[in-house]
Every structure is written in C-alpha cells, then in structure tokens.
Amino acid sequence: MLTLRPVEPRLTDWRERMFRRFEPPASLKLAEWAEANIVLPAGQNARSGTFRNWPYMREILDAIGAPSPRYVTLMKPSRVGFTKALMIAIGATVMIDPCAIGLLVPVDDDARDYATDEIEPLFESSPGLRGLMISGRVEGRNTLTRKRFVGGASLKILSARAPRNLRRHDFKALYCDEIDAMEITSEGDPLLIAEKRTLTHGDRKIVRGSTPTEEDVSLIERAYNESDMRIYEIPCPHCQEFFELLWEMIQWPDGAPDQATAFCPKCGCEIEERLKPRMVEEGRWRPQRPEIVDHRGYRLNTLVSLLPNAAWPTLAEEYVKAKRGGPAELQVFTNLTLGKTWKTSINRLSAEVLAGRVEPIGLERIPEEIVLLTAGADVQDDRIEVCVVGWPVAGAPCVLAHVIIDGNTLEEQTWRDFDAFLMTRWRHPHGWEIKIDGTAIDSGGHEGRTQKVYDFAGVRLHRRIYAIRSVGGARPIWTRAQRIKSGKTARLFILAHDQIKTAVMELLSAEPFDVEGHPNPHALRVSDELPAQWFDQVTGEVRRVKYVRNRPVIEFAPKRRGQQVEALDALCYAWGVRQSPAVKAIDLRARAARQPAPPTPPGAPAPPPAPRRGSPASWAQKFNE
C-alpha cells in the first residue's frame, strides 16, 4: 500500500527534497518509519518525545503499512498503544502514499476529539509531518473533521451514527476505531456501508480496532474470529517455552495482590515482574489459523504492557477492587485490561422466563433463611411504588413483594400510608417479628416532591430510611451527598446507578440452579404474588457498554417506547440500601439464631400495636389496575 506517488508540481523545492528523503525502500516497514519520523506530543502521552515501538506493536504496524494483508483487526485492551498506531498509519499514508483516508468512529463527538486530541497534535509534534496539514476550509465544509494535506492526501473523520454521510466518499484506506461502540442504524450497518466505499480501489486497506464488549454481540471478536487469530507469545525465562500470558497465570497470596507474580503454564515456575521486559522484548506473534492469508487479527491483554501502571501487582490490585465493585466493574476490567469479551445473559432475559421462576414465597410466607428486609421506593406524582427484598445470611435475596401506595405524593395522607406500610411487622417462621430494616426513597420527583422525600426521610433516619438519588458513572455503591440545596433536616445519599442496575440485572438473569441442581446464590428468587406487569418492567431495559477512548460508558435504554420501569428502579433501590453502612452493620447471624420473642412480663407497658394495612397481595392487586 505504501508506494510513493510522483510529487505534485505545486510542492515547493524543500518539500520535494523532503519527500525524496522519505522515499520508501522497496518494502517499507511502518514500525521503522514511525521510529524515524514520529515525535509524540508532550503532556498527553505516557512516553512523549521520539516514538519507540513496544515490542508487540512492531508487527502490527508493519501489517497496517504493508500492501498485504488487506484486513487488519485489533482486539485491544487499554495501555498498549493501539489508537496511536492508527494515528501513525494516517501520518505515514499522508506522507508516503497520499490517498483518500477514512477514519470511522462511533459518534460525532469522537470525530472532533480524534481531530483535536490525536491527529492535529501528532502532525504538529512530528517534524516529518509538520506543515503537511493544509488549513482552511475543505469543499466549503467544516475543517475540523475533514483535512487536506500537501501531496494530495485527504482525511475524513466520520461518525458511524450518520452512515448516510459515508455515501458521498471513496476511500482507499479505511480505519475504524472502537467498532464495538457502533450501532446498526435504520440506514444499515455503518461498517458495511463504509467498506463499500473502498471497493473501487484494488489496493484498499481496511483496519478495524476496538476494545471488546460483550460475548455474542462483539463486532471486534467476530472480526478477530474471521482472521488468522494471532496471539502474542513470550518465552519463559526458566524453560524457554513460548506461551500467551493469560490472567489465570497471574497469582498472589491471599489478601496480598501487591505480591502478584506470573506462573509459567509449561513448567510451573514462578516468574517475577522484573523479568517481564526481556520476555516481552523476545515475544512473537503466532497465527492460530495460518491458512487465512488476507486478514491478520491480533489480540492482546494488558499483562504484557510495559507501562508502569500495568505492572502485575498493580493489575492484581485493580482486579481485587473491581471484584468488590460487582459485575459492572468486573466487566470493565475484563474488557479494558484483559482485552476479552464479557459473558452475560443480562440482555437475553425475558419477562416470560423470569415469570416461570416464581416460588410460593411472600411477606406472609417468608422463607425461614430470610432474616433481613429492605425496601426501595419510587415516588411518582400519584403513587409510591415499593419493592421489598428479603436477605439471608448468605445466598440469594428474594423479591417478596411490590406494593403500590396510591395517592397524590404532595399530600400528607399518602406519606402516612407509606409510613404505616414501612412499620408493618410480619411473622418470621422462627416465631419472631420481622420488619423492614432499611428503605431507600428516590428523591428525583418534581413539583416539590423532592422536598417531600427529604422531609419524610430526614426525621426517620434512625429507622434507616434514606432519601437517595441514583447517579451514573464509576462511583462507590453508597455515599452520602456533600450537601443539598434545600431542606433543613435533609440528608441525601447517592447510589451508584450503573453498578447497582448491572448487579440487579445480573441477579435477575442468572440461572436459579446450576447443572447439578444446586441453587445459585447469585440468582434472585421471586415471589409468585408479583403481578405480571412487574416481570415486564424489571426486564424492560437493555444494557450497553461502550468504550470511548478507554473510558467506559454504561447505558440503559428501554426495550420499547413507553416502557415503564418503576419496578426495576424500586428493586435497584432495595438492593442499594442493603449496601448502606447502617444496614450492613446489622448482625444477621444473631438474627438467624433468634428465638420467638418472650411473652411481655406482667406490669410492663405493652408494646405499641403494629400498624397493619391491607395484605401485600391486595397492594399488589392495585399494581395491576
């Protein structure tokens, strides 16, 4: 692909000389070219200054730069420099083989970011590329994402969200980054549409890279599986055998991830972190399907990255933290650090399948292993929807009820009804009385309802009743808000929306029994008293994870227009409040050993009667109306 074209006459003498100087040898190696020509901009790079290839990047760059193979696929983790490789390929193509280049990225914002954060700085900091970018308008259009270059090359950065725009262009070189974040639109598959724009070029080049997301839907994994499936193998310093370093080969003593080392899968010897640079330097790519010739595919994990923040003990500590954070964080670790897809059935769950798993349990039929109840409340204008979850000492939680408190939530009576429900006591099979030990109430309503929630929860903090707000992004499961604008007695707590909803959707979609018929402690149990609509609502959203330049973005979207999800939200709040420090402090083992309450001694004041309103079944009945 990289063959020199005649220099156009409008070039100045010095440009002509420069192009001659960079005239490529018969077979140009892009990796060598990059070291001779690329200077990384200061500040944004871990290694600014003259570009040096990581050992595993040399072959990848050469494959991108060579006329053959036509397809190059990169299944990439973070911290190994793949996006940089694409930028270098653009620079080399502009300089050595001027042609029409297309860079396809997931959304418009990404297109602008690539232009300003990656391409423009690289052309400025590399002496060989400096001055090649022609400023000014291109075809009367926005120049930020459309560039022209001295020598005749052009670059168009296009968003996969608007594939219609692709139809006007032809590309000889097509680079696609973060393809797992691209969606099929009503106009079709943007990758296929983009690839069609290269068909007039016999020597076209198509490079696709992405952090993998989820198994079965990952486009980059599918592309890798169609390729010659290269793996990077490094030699064991003890037995000299080559192997691909995988996460299961990293081990550490219990509770001491800072002492993580690798173990050779061939001889079993321990390999210290300090031996890594030499092993990686001596590594080599091996195709698992050598019979595929026109499509090279590379997969890599961060374990062979030589950056200080990718040391094995650092990665082990990240893993321990991600494991504590639940499935949402573990998925990010698996995708970004291990470069692997995440197995989940989260988006395959249907209301019908879940409804087939009901058990004869409920607030009047509490299973004997349940020793704690939590509630989550979603406040609507004309009702409060409450989910009650029961928790054992260890094992699967149970959704015991979903009740609806009808009434205008600006009126006191509705809140009195809600309070009465929260004070209800039920009979535990062991003879003692059980009540709700922690309640999270969403404060996100409108027209003064936020204040109502603050007022209600503020004076009931001693009963572990909390005003909450659910916020996206990476954050601890449960935190107290710094301060809130209104409310004298109010305290607001922040729930980690993405992590909690992911954990709840994983619980909902988990198989209740394993292959041997043992109950799965990570599968939610559900009551047969729950109304049909509950199953529709808790399965009413789909979850998507995207990586935007190594930052995870988790999105939840309704399965269809008008889909209600109050039941899912209430369940998430009931799950979240279980993680509040005061609820976590409750001694569940002591409760499991609890005996029936002794009869009240004569003369002592009688305990106040527990308020009881309609049975949960009747509350649930209202839910269906």
Is 422 among the residues that bind Zn ion (CB under 5 A)?
no
Number of residues forming the site for Zn ion (CB under 5 A): 7
As measured in angstroms, the least distance from the Cβ of 235 to Zn ion is: 8
Is 522 among the residues that bind Zn ion (CB under 5 A)?
no
User: Is 572 in contact with 360 (CB distance < 8 Å)?
Assistant: no
As measured in angstroms, the least distance from the Cβ of 286 to Zn ion is: 17
- Considering beta carbons, is residue 234 or 477 the nearer one to Zn ion? 234
Scanning residues 376 to 415, which ones bind Zn ion (CB under 5 A)? Answer: none
- Considering beta carbons, is residue 261 or 439 the nearer one to Zn ion? 261
User: Is 228 in contact with 290 (CB distance < 8 Å)?
Assistant: yes
- Considering beta carbons, is residue 119 or 260 the nearer one to Zn ion? 260
Chain Cα centroid distance, residue 258: 25
Tell me the HSE value of 404 on the side-chain side, using a 13 A CA sphere: 20
Q: Please give the C-alpha separations between residue 444 and each of 104, 451, 468, 533, 617, in angstroms, as whole numbers.
A: 38, 10, 8, 23, 28
* Cis amide prior to 605 (ω within 30 degrees): no
Which of 30, 119, 264, 492: binder of Zn ion (CB under 5 A)? Answer: 264
As measured in angstroms, the least distance from the Cβ of 263 to Zn ion is: 9
- Considering beta carbons, is residue 138 or 246 the nearer one to Zn ion? 246
Rounded CA-CA distance 294/69 in Å is 4
Rounded CA-CA distance 182/547 in Å is 10
Helix segments in 200-288, DSSP class H: 219-226, 276-281
Angle between the 566-577 and 497-509 helix axes, to the nearest 10 degrees?
A: 100
As measured in angstroms, the least distance from the Cβ of 295 to Zn ion is: 32
- Considering beta carbons, is residue 125 or 261 the nearer one to Zn ion? 261
DSSP state, 542? E
CB atoms inside a 10 Å sphere around CB 430: 15
Is 270 among the residues that bind Zn ion (CB under 5 A)?
no
Give the closest residue to 526 by CA, choosing from 623, 624, 402: 402
Scanning residues 291 to 320, which ones bind Zn ion (CB under 5 A)? Answer: none
Is 262 among the residues that bind Zn ion (CB under 5 A)?
no
Give the closest residue to 396 by CA, choosing from 370, 417, 377, 375: 370
Which of 201, 238, 286, 357: binder of Zn ion (CB under 5 A)? Answer: 238
268-276, 281-289, 326-334, 391-399 -> range binding Zn ion (CB under 5 A): 268-276
CB atoms inside a 10 Å sphere around CB 269: 12
Is 559 among the residues that bind Zn ion (CB under 5 A)?
no
Is 101 among the residues that bind Zn ion (CB under 5 A)?
no
DSSP state, 188? B
- Considering beta carbons, is residue 280 or 505 the nearer one to Zn ion? 280
DSSP state, 437? E
Chain Cα centroid distance, residue 193: 27
As measured in angstroms, the least distance from the Cβ of 528 to Zn ion is: 56
* Cis amide prior to 512 (ω within 30 degrees): no
- Considering beta carbons, is residue 8 or 272 the nearer one to Zn ion? 272
- Considering beta carbons, is residue 20 or 278 the nearer one to Zn ion? 278
- Considering beta carbons, is residue 280 or 405 the nearer one to Zn ion? 280
174-182, 204-212, 261-269, 379-387 -> range binding Zn ion (CB under 5 A): 261-269
Give the closest residue to 71 by CA, choosing from 229, 286, 182: 229
Is 267 among the residues that bind Zn ion (CB under 5 A)?
yes
Euclidean distance between the first and the last CA atom of the chain, given in angstroms as a whole number: 67
Give the closest residue to 350 by CA, choosing from 126, 81, 559: 559
- Considering beta carbons, is residue 245 or 457 the nearer one to Zn ion? 245
As measured in angstroms, the least distance from the Cβ of 311 to Zn ion is: 20
Per DSSP, the residues of 61-90 read: HHHHHSS--SEEEEE--SSS-HHHHHHHHH
208-216, 262-270, 578-586, 612-620 -> range binding Zn ion (CB under 5 A): 262-270
As measured in angstroms, the least distance from the Cβ of 283 to Zn ion is: 14
As measured in angstroms, the least distance from the Cβ of 250 to Zn ion is: 15
Is 61 among the residues that bind Zn ion (CB under 5 A)?
no
- Considering beta carbons, is residue 239 or 459 the nearer one to Zn ion? 239
As measured in angstroms, the least distance from the Cβ of 267 to Zn ion is: 3
113-121, 206-214, 267-275, 567-575 -> range binding Zn ion (CB under 5 A): 267-275
CB atoms inside a 10 Å sphere around CB 537: 23
263-271, 396-404, 422-430, 595-603 -> range binding Zn ion (CB under 5 A): 263-271
| CB environment 84-101: b (16+ within 10 A), e (fewer) | bbbbbbbbbbbbbbbbbb
Rounded CA-CA distance 471/498 in Å is 8
Structure-block tokens of residue 470: 């659910």
Scanning residues 103 to 122, which ones bind Zn ion (CB under 5 A)? Answer: none
Rounded CA-CA distance 593/589 in Å is 6
As measured in angstroms, the least distance from the Cβ of 245 to Zn ion is: 12
**Which residue has tokens 């330097």?**
281
Is 266 among the residues that bind Zn ion (CB under 5 A)?
yes
Rounded CA-CA distance 63/73 in Å is 10
- Considering beta carbons, is residue 57 or 262 the nearer one to Zn ion? 262
Is 275 among the residues that bind Zn ion (CB under 5 A)?
no
10-18, 87-95, 269-277, 599-607 -> range binding Zn ion (CB under 5 A): 269-277
Rounded CA-CA distance 353/393 in Å is 27
Site string for Zn ion, 208-237 (x = CB under 5 A): ----------------------------x-
As measured in angstroms, the least distance from the Cβ of 269 to Zn ion is: 5
- Considering beta carbons, is residue 249 or 307 the nearer one to Zn ion? 249
- Considering beta carbons, is residue 262 or 583 the nearer one to Zn ion? 262
Which of 239, 256, 459, 557: binder of Zn ion (CB under 5 A)? Answer: 239
Q: Which residues bind Zn ion (CB under 5 A)?
A: 236, 238-239, 264, 266-267, 269
